[in-house]
């Protein structure tokens, strides 16, 4: 009886080589199929680790070796993490399956802006010496942030209130965006300077299914200038910068590629633009990362997922500039055999 895809993944002997992902991010052809994912999930980390449990979010130093071992076994050339201690406090939020973009707000006016306990990114300096000795050979760290410029503004103000604030008090809106953006900039400056960090993800959702969350003009005025400075800081340290942003980017692809100058773009959805289409359209200008729709990976049969993954690797073999993975991440509701079928399409060629 043939082994399951998950059994094959667990029996695979990984050999990480971060230079392969660097080739992808430089829009080159890697020497072998290369994987890309933002994050997996606790039960999957445990399976990939041979039973070692994930301590969970908010314990980044304790969970780093768990994540690193899991990413290594799954065939990635890096491990994603967020530096401990830095984030923008919010009020109480509903933790159901879905949440409102108007919950947990703390900023309502100038006085609340001035009272807010703005975090200090310098607290993250001590994080990197603690995790560096636990990084597997051949791998680097992918450092992501505690949300992005727009995400944190929405968490602090509320989506509806932010839309009104941009019209009613643009000065306060700018001060809030600048308070967030300047701290995220310093967070990434510190991260990019670390030898263990191979690249950074700036994670900031910008769109709904049909359009950006704000008018492109507002994004260009308040949000994109900070991302441009973040990317420039990462590049100044000699590292690539990747955008993870959900939603419809049709109106802002030029900003992402030509103005902000991200090296790679992650997060795709078949209902917006299938990754195959995005690759054909943009791969000569930016690396295309992941892309197999999460709903497709969740609902399809493992062999169907494997075939689409193989087809994507064949489509990109000559041009490169692609890392195989899901369109967004691997939540717990994705069957583990389905996830394994996807990544086995890349791992089976490594021997």
**pLDDT > 90: percent of the chain:** 91
Contact 121, 85 (CB under 8 A): no
User: pLDDT under 50 in the chain at which residues?
Assistant: none
Q: Cα 217 to the chain's mean position, in Å?
A: 24
Please tell me the predicted confidence (pLDDT) of residue 97. 64
Please tell me the predicted confidence (pLDDT) of residue 279. 98
Please tell me the predicted confidence (pLDDT) of residue 283. 95
Please tell me the predicted confidence (pLDDT) of residue 127. 96
Q: What is the Cα–Cα distance from 230 to 184, expressed in whole angstroms?
A: 8
Terminal CA-CA length for the chain: 20
Q: What is the Cα–Cα distance from 329 to 138, expressed in whole angstroms?
A: 23
- 73: closest CA among 144, 129, 9? 9
C-alpha distances out from residue 102 to 155, 175, 284, Å = 7, 20, 39
The number of CA neighbours under 13 Å toward the Cβ of 194 is 26
Q: What is the Cα–Cα distance from 299 to 16, expressed in whole angstroms?
A: 30
Q: What is the pTM of this model?
A: 0.96
Please tell me the predicted confidence (pLDDT) of residue 296. 98
Domain residue limits, the chain: 5-87+111-350
Structural class in CATH, domain 5-87+111-350: alpha beta
- 227: closest CA among 195, 262, 279, 269? 262
- Mind listing the pLDDT tens digit for each residue in 253-266? 999 999 999 999 99
Please tell me the predicted confidence (pLDDT) of residue 94. 63
């Amino acid at each position: 009886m043939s082994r399951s895809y998950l059994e094959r993944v667990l029996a695979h002997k990984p050999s990480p080589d971060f230079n392969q992902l660097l080739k992808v991010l430089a829009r080159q052809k890697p020497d072998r199929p290369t994987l890309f994912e933002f994050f997996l999930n606790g039960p999957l980390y445990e399976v990939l680790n041979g039973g070692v449990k994930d301590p969970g979010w908010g314990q980044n130093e304790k969970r780093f070796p768990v994540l690193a071992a899991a990413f290594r076994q799954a065939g990635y050339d890096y491990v994603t993490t967020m530096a401990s201690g830095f984030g923008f406090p919010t009020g109480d939020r509903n933790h159901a399956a879905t949440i409102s973009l108007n919950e947990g707000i703390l900023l309502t006016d100038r006085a609340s802006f001035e009272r807010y306990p703005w975090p200090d990114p310098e607290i993250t300096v001590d994080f990197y010496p603690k995790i560096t000795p636990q990084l597997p050979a051949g791998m680097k760290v992918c450092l992501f942030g505690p949300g992005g410029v727009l995400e944190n503004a929405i968490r602090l103000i509320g989506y509806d209130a932010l839309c009104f604030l941009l019209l009613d008090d643009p000065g306060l809106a700018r001060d809030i965006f600048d308070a967030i953006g300047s701290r995220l900039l310093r967070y990434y400056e510190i991260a990019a300077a670390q030898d263990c960090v191979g690249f950074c993800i700036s994670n900031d959702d910008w769109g709904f299914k049909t359009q950006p969350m704000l008018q492109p003009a507002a994004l260009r005025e308040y949000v994109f200038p900070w991302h441009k400075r973040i990317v420039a800081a990462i590049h100044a340290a000699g590292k690539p910068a990747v955008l993870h942003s959900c939603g419809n980017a049709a109106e802002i692809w030029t900003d992402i590629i030509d103005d902000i100058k991200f090296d790679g773009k992650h997060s795709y959805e078949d209902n917006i633009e299938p990754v195959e289409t995005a690759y054909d359209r943009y791969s000569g200008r930016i690396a295309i990362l992941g892309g197999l729709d999460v709903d497709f990976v969740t609902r399809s049969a493992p062999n169907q997922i494997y075939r689409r993954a193989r087809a994507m690797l064949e489509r990109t073999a000559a041009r490169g500039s692609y890392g195989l993975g899901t369109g967004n991440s691997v939540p717990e509701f994705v069957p583990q055999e389905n996830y394994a079928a996807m990544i086995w399409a890349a791992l089976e060629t490594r021997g």
